Structure 1
């Protein structure tokens, strides 16, 4: 609670305004962007009794996310998201978060990420080969579907079929819309009335997601005991996937019998996953749900917005095609092109695609804002931010700031020279967050996005269907509100050389 004599930074009002609440609810990105332009680097406003501070300075953001991170907790949006994500890696705090990150982190080391590259290309190729010349697709739905299959296979070693993927995506889509509604005070009140259709459907959507995940947990437990799997992996050199590692951690907390010593010996040989917190089935569920959602939604949004932008700039699109042809084209005869699939070894060669992807995530960052709750009184410049206040740091706002980007609303991949990147303040570009709570899968997302575009654009030109109302839908991630329809045009009567 702010003291009566607290000096507030500039802002729209030091008192609660229903009009401001409506603006933040209906168009938060525009509202926060206007605050940045009008009031500067530190902005104060009130929502209800809560004091909100918008931080628009990369140095301040760096201190909050890295050097002073222990003074903050996750923001209110992620607190609400616990209804869906539970106490998984994204929403948990303190030792629970640290222990879970230790278990999951090895799945995102460079060697492991490299091993996922072939999965990305394979899934992208299957999707691409299913498309037809002249057909119209919702590119957002296509990308949501294929990236879900990629994350399932990569970190779970699980092949999710198209029917189950569609079921998962549909339940997730409704859950996202509903949890956005929960951010409104009225939404929280209505949530208590399960007789209401929207409330009832939200409960059913979570049950669908849970049924898929709990079935995976049950089947994996039945297939082989965790201790036996540890022993098998020691002998074969095979690395565990996410579910195996979580089950191994669960076994470490349950193993208090005469087998405990034997288990500890095996754990020490592969890197102990022992954690002081019991790893229940609920916690395993929370982590799987979190990784499946976070691991495919951010990337699918990033690729969707990238194709949306590229489709409106023929010169940029043509340069992308030329780079792909230079690297992947094997032969051409009478207009018939034969391509090979890209590999992770090609990634350094796709310099222009990397710039396109980087610039698209500047304009449409997958995660558009980060919130924190102030644990203890915090000082920024001459202002004291009271305990219990909320802090907002917006990737979208910072990445459209004219202090760091000339013509910030212009899609210009060529701005990303090595010199430009060297002189850019660290937190003027942070599409995946940053600090100890930064996205654990950021490197995987970069690899996936570039390989996906190289694979798909070897054969397809994606044309934006005219007369669409393309709108941003800023929930926890930045979705296109109504999807984006694209018409597929085959670049040539090409064949792929696998």
Structure 2
């Protein structure tokens, strides 16, 4: 299996706790050792609460200021009685995600609200539980397996574009909302096909919308004392219960029917662990289904929203994109063979993700005392990675604020540090859904460019809002013109 040949190889030097401790004692970091340790600069903020108020109000602005004032350094952020450490330099990111990844777990505090939703799925699990989940799911997410979903995806997208045309009807629409609706239908269709009817889908989507709103609020409140009351707790728990009831009903009904519908749920049901020869129970199927849905629709709909914004602002890029789509697929529906040829389309998407990564931050917790490039970090320290900032470091990106898809041409992209761009994470916990996300995004962009020309409403303010993903603060108002 791919997991054994790839992921297990990457962890050989730190495979067990004894080896990890020996590695840490003899080689504190892969960097050149300095005679003295470096001191992390500290952003202190206000007395007692530190930078916590700014973190809750606008974390991205706080991180930007920290990096501007302390370029290339690991920066400590004072959060009341504790500190978090901001890591943005690619060599530091590589150490956290790849070189010593086992010592940087997902912890409890910041991941608690996500675990309340996703349970012990692939995104949230750790240790042996994660290894088993990865072994089970890796085979169904290879490029070839995902390409087999192209025909089903194209069918669903075409149906959704018919709805989209009615919603547009010549007037202004909110593209953020429209891309969210499109991706919700696409992900639910690819996952559950005909097992989910309109009523169930509507119930599930409403519950998940509440869940995402409440999770975004809780992510940065995790640094507050446990006794601190969080608004919306009842609504949050009720939405999780509704989600559980809906998805578990679908899973149990499908199990009993024995009918193969060729969707992702079917693949999850048929998955077997190569070592134990066992599959997933209903709870694990529920956890993995919700994880795939939330990770898939939120990130991809956000990426699509920024793609349309950037194309409107850069007509020369839109022209090249249209030329490629006309040459490769013309007016017909795309196939999996076409997707491989849509190279400039993929470059446009990659550059949009560089400027506006949906997963704009990642959090890890140091398991045992560690040293990164001379910076000593104690066990229990929260480390925050910020792709949004790493993706814009002028040391690694020429004119980093400029939208330039050509920078993702293969000959240029390979010249940069491997962790100067990490939209799907890195190391053994690299996002398993990468191929599916890129496939769906390419298909939607191609099929919409075939039919429409999208234009921003003049004067409508567009500003990145950092929440659970990086969305436009006031949505994205656009008009839709037929090509």
TM bracket, shorter-chain basis: 0.7 to 0.9
Q: Deviations over 1:214-243 (max 9, x none)?
A: 11122123213xxxx8xxxxxxxx797554
Tell me: CA distance 1:479–1:168, structure 2 relative to 1, closer, same or farther (3 Å): farther
RMSD: 2.7
- The answer to whether the Cα contact below 8 Å between 2:150 and 2:335 also exists between their aligned partners in 1 is yes
Matched residues in 1 for 2:297 and 2:420: separation?
A: 24
The answer as to 2:52 corresponding to 1:26 is no
Tell me: CA distance 1:347–1:168, structure 2 relative to 1, closer, same or farther (3 Å): same
Give, in angstroms, the shift of residue 328 of structure 1: 2.5
- The answer to whether the Cα contact below 8 Å between 1:54 and 1:393 also exists between their aligned partners in 2 is yes
Tell me: CA distance 1:85–1:187, structure 2 relative to 1, closer, same or farther (3 Å): farther
The answer as to 2:43 corresponding to 1:9 is no
The answer as to 2:359 corresponding to 1:371 is no
Give the paired residue count.
441
Unpaired segments of 5 or more residues in structure 2?
1-35
Q: 2:189 aligns with which of 153, 157, 162?
A: 153
Matched with 1:65 is: 97
Matched with 1:123 is: 156
The answer as to 2:246 corresponding to 1:215 is no
Moved more, 178-187 or 18-27: 178-187
Larger radius of gyration: 1
Partner secondary structure for residue 42 of structure 2: coil
Moved more, 200-209 or 472-481: 472-481
Tell me: CA distance 1:322–1:159, structure 2 relative to 1, closer, same or farther (3 Å): farther
Give, in angstroms, the shift of residue 296 of structure 1: 1.9
Q: Deviations over 1:172-200 (max 9, x none)?
A: 222122122223256964657xxx7x332
Give, in angstroms, the shift of residue 412 of structure 1: 1.9
Partner secondary structure for residue 428 of structure 1: coil
Partner secondary structure for residue 313 of structure 2: coil
- The answer to whether the Cα contact below 8 Å between 1:89 and 1:100 also exists between their aligned partners in 2 is yes
Instruction: Give me the TM-score of the superposition, normalised by structure 1.
Output: 0.81
- The answer to whether the Cα contact below 8 Å between 2:118 and 2:287 also exists between their aligned partners in 1 is yes
Matched with 2:10 is: none
The answer as to 2:277 corresponding to 1:274 is yes
Matched with 2:13 is: none
Pairs within 5 Å for 1:96-107: 96-107=129-140
Partner secondary structure for residue 111 of structure 2: helix
Q: Deviations over 1:306-336 (max 9, x none)?
A: 112112222222222222222223xxxxxxx
- The answer to whether the Cα contact below 8 Å between 2:95 and 2:372 also exists between their aligned partners in 1 is no
Q: Deviations over 1:45-103 (max 9, x none)?
A: 22133232211221221121112111121154323311111111111111111111211
Pairs within 5 Å for 1:61-460: 61-75=93-107, 76-130=109-163, 131-132=165-166, 133-158=169-194, 160-182=196-218, 183-184=220-221, 189=227, 191=229, 198-224=232-258, 242-244=264-266, 246-247=268-269, 274=277, 279-329=280-330, 339-460=331-452
Give, in angstroms, the shift of residue 6 of structure 1: 8.6
- The answer to whether the Cα contact below 8 Å between 2:196 and 2:250 also exists between their aligned partners in 1 is no
- The answer to whether the Cα contact below 8 Å between 2:37 and 2:374 also exists between their aligned partners in 1 is no
Matched residues in 2 for 1:273 and 1:124: separation?
A: 38
Tell me: CA distance 1:470–1:101, structure 2 relative to 1, closer, same or farther (3 Å): same
Matched residues in 2 for 1:92 and 1:67: separation?
A: 20
Matched with 2:17 is: none
Moved more, 239-248 or 455-464: 239-248
Matched residues in 1 for 2:268 and 2:343: separation?
A: 37
Matched residues in 2 for 1:392 and 1:202: separation?
A: 25
Matched with 1:262 is: none
Partner secondary structure for residue 446 of structure 1: helix
Q: Deviations over 1:416-437 (max 9, x none)?
A: 3333202111111111111111
Unpaired segments of 5 or more residues in structure 1?
230-237, 250-266, 330-338, 492-498
Matched residues in 2 for 1:283 and 1:61: separation?
A: 30
Matched with 2:5 is: none
Tell me: CA distance 1:437–1:469, structure 2 relative to 1, closer, same or farther (3 Å): same
